[in-house]
Structure 1
């Protein structure tokens, strides 16, 4: 296995060579190589996104979006145009600015005129239909995951186990559980986006 060079370790050229190798393998569908790339570079992307958004929860979500996009478009990375970190940072900056603008527009809409009618406690029929559709989409996406990824997602979200508890329950190294959760969440998000078109 190649060494994991986190930001700030190894020479710049060594890191770039390893990261490009992982990205090339990811373009061929190698999820483990992509997980290695994520582990080595996600701190950099998260820091950049957090500086733009200032909100850790939004930054985590946008960082995940960045890696979903990077997984989908790994084959489009052009080595002649720059390094892997710069490519990921560009995607991160673009996604973060989109989120920032979207959040600003939503705040304007929400601070619009206030209606005297109080909202009903009961969800409307339209909202119930939408909630039902959301559950169906998530269930379909979950079924489509590889069994090992589906297992850890279900343990985390339906039984409330932490990653350490899952490692003990499954008899697996914690790193393996973390990788399965991360890949499972990325695949789940990608499949949900595909189903929603």
Structure 2
């Protein structure tokens, strides 16, 4: 199997040979991980992303050898998925900055009116969180109040990471709908 080039190994993978995936991971996993780490800045997220990239290579089989090398395909896929994660992280961060209190930092320095408005927003967020299903609320609270990554949440809850991601996304969408008037 080691004698196969990338294209031959990919063809073997398409035919269901799981050892071909292992071979391709051994060849390209390090560079995929390093790029993910450089872009995301977190070893856990880089590991998750590397796994996601190779899982997509195996399941979706979208690589076309006529369009370029497998290495370039994997790096492009890694970059694209990392950018998606960074955008998602940015959206979550903006949501947090607007709606969730972080130990009264910055609020205490404002006017009484600003503090009152912040308290009211915080109370609305807490009330909205309580309306979410337990699993969604728990995933969001662990992420935003305890600062856990999705991998850490999955580990703590003994739940697949895909389930944690789905719960978080569904919870955020429900919160956005519940708090739409505050987003203005």
Measured against the shorter chain, the TM-score band is 0.5 to 0.7
Q: Corresponding residue for 2:35?
A: 48
Aligned equivalent of 2:55, options 52, 56, 68: 68
- Residue aligned with 2:98, SS: coil
Q: Corresponding residue for 1:2?
A: 2
Structure 1 consecutive aligned stretches of length 4 or more whose deviation exceeds 2 Å? 113-120, 123-131, 188-193
CA separation of 1:97 and 1:130: change in aligned 2, threshold 3 A: closer
CA separation of 1:29 and 1:189: change in aligned 2, threshold 3 A: farther
- Residue aligned with 1:61, SS: helix
Contact 1:68-1:190 within 8 A present in 2 as well: no
In structure 2, what is the Cα distance between the partners aligned to 1:189 and 1:71?
Answer: 18
Q: Corresponding residue for 1:108?
A: 94
Per the TM alignment, residue 81 of structure 1 is displaced from its structure 2 partner at its CA by 1.3
Q: Corresponding residue for 1:128?
A: 134
Q: Corresponding residue for 2:81?
A: 95
5+ residue gaps, structure 2? 102-120, 138-154, 166-184
Per the TM alignment, residue 96 of structure 1 is displaced from its structure 2 partner at its CA by 0.6
Aligned equivalent of 1:34, options 21, 37, 54: 21
Bigger CA radius of gyration: 2
CA offset digits 1:26-48 (Å, max 9, x no partner)? 11121111111112211011111
CA offset digits 1:86-133 (Å, max 9, x no partner)? 11111111001111111111100111044343959xx957433659xx
Q: Corresponding residue for 1:11?
A: none
TM-score if structure 1 supplies the norm length? Answer: 0.53
CA offset digits 1:152-192 (Å, max 9, x no partner)? xxxxx8xxxxxxxxxxxxxxxxxxxxxxxxxxxxxx87899
Kindly indicate whether structure 1 or structure 2 has the higher relative contact order, using CA contacts under 8 Å at least 6 residues apart.
Answer: 1
- Residue aligned with 1:2, SS: coil
5+ residue gaps, structure 1? 4-16, 132-156, 158-187
Aligned equivalent of 1:25, options 8, 12, 25: 12
In structure 2, what is the Cα distance between the partners aligned to 1:23 and 1:107?
Answer: 38
TM-score if structure 2 supplies the norm length? Answer: 0.56
- Residue aligned with 2:16, SS: coil
Per the TM alignment, residue 78 of structure 1 is displaced from its structure 2 partner at its CA by 1.8
